[in-house]
């Protein structure tokens, strides 16, 4: 039986026997880490407990907490699905210490007042650092540039129109150029809506009788945005790449010096369009599940660094929006608590190394956002995740911290779990074995 403990304030902990993941040095041998007064106080072999609570961590990995590049908080506007508190709890329970929240709220985050509201609410709760993504355009309508400067000043870390396509190349160009003045990346959701459908176009959409969206619908916009980023000399991030062709385009653009980064979701590394044969709306995504060749290309891209990060794409939806015909279902799934076990499945399947999985969750997203590197060293603030690689558990009403339960993994056995998350020394998540 596992329980999640209530947080206590700035405890002194001795995390004993975990391997440390540091982006510069990789995985260490087992070692002890002392956390005191919110900071890493000491790292060494066989440290005495010195009055600290000892956390036995043999076989586990300690790293800087994960940073997520895209989650939907649903606050303001749809707090029955999620709010910034439940989102923070779900993030902490997944090993995250910081989460980028999308602008597709009600009202949308296209104004500094909304940015400030989100930051204030998140800080009051204080269980996870919340990093607002500002809208690229007014009301996410793809017409008029949003006040990017003021939102950046208020604390927005990046800009994009969530999963609304920016159909105008001119607007995308201006956004890339303008955001450069404020040193912020543009997050592009590459999709040409005129080629849209409810799943990947191919043999499976034909068989299931669902409208397909071809891989080209994504790759066309990837190619466009790469050319615009080069033209604008701006920083571009593709959120949730899904196709082989997109990976090739990004790889080539990198060679030409375009400042582009990219992320992928655990879903697209795991499932293909075939998984929709049961019409499960929890596997409907705004960037659809593709073919096996695409899945393998995404993994290859992640291994060779063309794709930098893995993002949760956490999208809480009311049951009522999912318990309908596939065509009518809202896309998206919750994911913050299952990213780690799902990626560990890829590690167990020898499709990724443990270091590659950790890099994609720990260091790469920090680089996308130009945050300080995720090193684990004495003197650094203790914003850490302690990860069990094999612990089995289920995401259910007892363990889930989200307000929504739209995931195909609900109730299924998962392997791998964040067992302890610290935010500047505070315990924000802990699994206790009894």
Partner 1 sequence: MPTDAVTQTGSPPPTAAPRVALRHLLGLEDLSGDQITGILDLAAQMKAVNARRIKKLPTLRGVTVLTLFVEPSTRTRMSFELAAKRLSADVMSFSAATSSLSKGETLIDTAKNLEAMGPDLIVIRHGAAGAPRLLTQHVGCGVVSGGDGFHEHPTQGLLDAFTLREKLGSLAGRKIAIVGDILHSRVARSNIWGLGKLGADVHVAGPATMLPAGIEDMGCTAHARVEPALEGADAVMMLRVQRERMDGGFFPSAHEFHRFFGLDEERLKLCKPGAPVLHPGPMNRGVEIAPEVADGPQSVILEQVENGVAVRMAVLYLVAATHGLDGRVD
Non-local (6+) Cβ contacts of 259 within 8 A are 229, 233, 234, 235, 236
State yes or no: residue 285 binds partner 1 (CB under 8 A): no
State yes or no: residue 54 binds partner 1 (CB under 8 A): no
- The correct pick among 50, 327, 355, 396 for binding partner 1 (CB under 8 A) is 327
Distance CA 147, CA 169 (A): 19
Which of residues 120 and 207 has its CB atom nearest to partner 1 in the complex? Answer: 207
Which of residues 17 and 212 has its CB atom nearest to partner 1 in the complex? Answer: 212
Number of CB atoms found within 10 A of residue 433's CB? 9
> How far is C-alpha 91 from the chain's CA centre?
10
Distance CA 200, CA 274 (A): 10
CB 64 within 8 A of CB 20: no
Of the candidate spans 73-81, 131-139, 199-207, 308-316, the one that interacts with partner 1 by CB under 8 A turns out to be 199-207
CB 312 within 8 A of CB 94: yes
Would you mind telling me the total number of residues written for the chain in this entry?
434
Rounded to a whole number of angstroms, the minimum distance from the CB of residue 285 to partner 1 is 16
Rounded to a whole number of angstroms, the minimum distance from the CB of residue 325 to partner 1 is 3
Number of CB atoms found within 10 A of residue 316's CB? 29
Q: Can the peptide bond before residue 359 be classed as cis, meaning omega within 30 degrees of 0?
A: no
Non-local (6+) Cβ contacts of 87 within 8 A are 71, 73, 74, 75, 99, 101, 128, 130, 314, 316, 336, 402
Rounded to a whole number of angstroms, the minimum distance from the CB of residue 78 to partner 1 is 16
Distance CA 176, CA 205 (A): 35
Rounded to a whole number of angstroms, the minimum distance from the CB of residue 289 to partner 1 is 15
Footprint (CB under 8 A) of partner 1, residues 265-284: 278-279
Size of the site for partner 1 (CB under 8 A): 22
- The correct pick among 123, 207, 233, 412 for binding partner 1 (CB under 8 A) is 207
State yes or no: residue 203 binds partner 1 (CB under 8 A): yes
Which of residues 137 and 242 has its CB atom nearest to partner 1 in the complex? Answer: 242
Q: Can the peptide bond before residue 224 be classed as cis, meaning omega within 30 degrees of 0?
A: no
State yes or no: residue 204 binds partner 1 (CB under 8 A): yes
- Among 22, 111, 161, 313, the active-site one is 313
> Is residue 110 annotated as a catalytic residue, yes or no?
no
Which of residues 6 and 320 has its CB atom nearest to partner 1 in the complex? Answer: 320
What x/- string results for residues 297 through 326 when contact with partner 1 is judged by CB under 8 A? -----------------------x--xxxx
Which of residues 245 and 314 has its CB atom nearest to partner 1 in the complex? Answer: 245
Of the candidate spans 62-70, 200-208, 373-381, 411-419, the one that interacts with partner 1 by CB under 8 A turns out to be 200-208
Rounded to a whole number of angstroms, the minimum distance from the CB of residue 411 to partner 1 is 15
CB 391 within 8 A of CB 332: no
CB 181 within 8 A of CB 149: yes
Q: Quick one: which of 336, 345, 334 has its CA closest to 392?
A: 345
Footprint (CB under 8 A) of partner 1, residues 208-247: 208-212, 214
Which of residues 42 and 192 has its CB atom nearest to partner 1 in the complex? Answer: 192
Catalytic residue numbers?
313
Residues lying near partner 1 in the complex (CB under 8 A): 201-212, 214, 278-279, 320, 323-328
């Amino acid at each position: 039986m596992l329980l999640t403990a209530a947080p206590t304030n700035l405890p002194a902990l001795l995390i004993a026997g975990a391997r440390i993941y540091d982006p510069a040095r990789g995985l260490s041998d087992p070692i002890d880490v002392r956390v005191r007064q919110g900071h890493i106080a000491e790292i060494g072999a066989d440290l005495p407990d010195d009055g600290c609570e000892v956390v036995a961590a043999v076989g586990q990995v300690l790293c800087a907490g994960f940073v997520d590049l895209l989650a939907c908080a649903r606050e303001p506007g749809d707090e029955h699905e999620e709010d910034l508190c439940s989102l923070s709890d779900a993030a902490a329970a997944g090993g995250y210490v910081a989460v980028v929240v999308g602008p597709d709220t009600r009202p949308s985050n296209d104004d500094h007042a909304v940015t400030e509201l989100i930051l204030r609410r998140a800080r009051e709760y204080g269980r996870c650092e919340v990093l607002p993504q500002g809208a690229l355009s007014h009301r996410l309508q793809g017409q008029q540039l949003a006040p990017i400067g003021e939102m950046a000043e208020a604390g927005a870390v990046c800009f994009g129109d969530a999963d609304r396509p920016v159909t105008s190349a001119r607007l995308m160009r201006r956004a890339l150029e303008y955001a450069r003045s404020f040193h912020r990346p543009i997050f592009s959701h590459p999709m040409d809506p005129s080629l849209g459908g409810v799943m990947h176009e191919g043999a499976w959409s034909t068989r299931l009788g669902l409208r397909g969206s071809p891989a080209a619908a994504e790759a066309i916009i990837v190619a466009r945005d790469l050319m615009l980023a080069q033209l604008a000399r701006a920083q571009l991030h593709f959120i949730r790449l899904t196709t082989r062709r997109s990976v090739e385009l990004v790889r080539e653009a990198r060679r030409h010096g375009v400042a582009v980064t990219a992320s992928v979701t655990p879903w697209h590394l795991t499932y293909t369009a075939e998984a929709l044969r049961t019409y499960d709306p929890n596997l409907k995504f705004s960037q659809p599940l593709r073919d096996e060749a695409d899945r393998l290309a995404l993994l290859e891209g992640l291994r060779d660094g063309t794709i930098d990060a893995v993002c949760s794409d956490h999208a809480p939806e009311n049951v009522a929006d999912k318990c309908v015909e596939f065509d009518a279902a809202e896309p998206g799934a919750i994911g913050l608590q299952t990213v780690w076990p799902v990626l560990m499945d890829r590690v167990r399947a020898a499709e990724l190394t443990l270091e590659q999985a950790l890099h994609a969750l720990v260091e790469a997203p920090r680089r996308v956002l130009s945050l300080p590197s995720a090193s684990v060293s004495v003197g650094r603030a203790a914003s850490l995740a302690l990860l069990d690689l094999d612990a089995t558990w289920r995401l259910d009403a007892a363990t889930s911290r989200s307000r929504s339960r739209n995931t195909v993994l609900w109730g299924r056995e998962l392997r791998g779990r964040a067992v302890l998350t610290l935010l500047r020394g505070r315990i924000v998540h802990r699994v206790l074995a009894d």
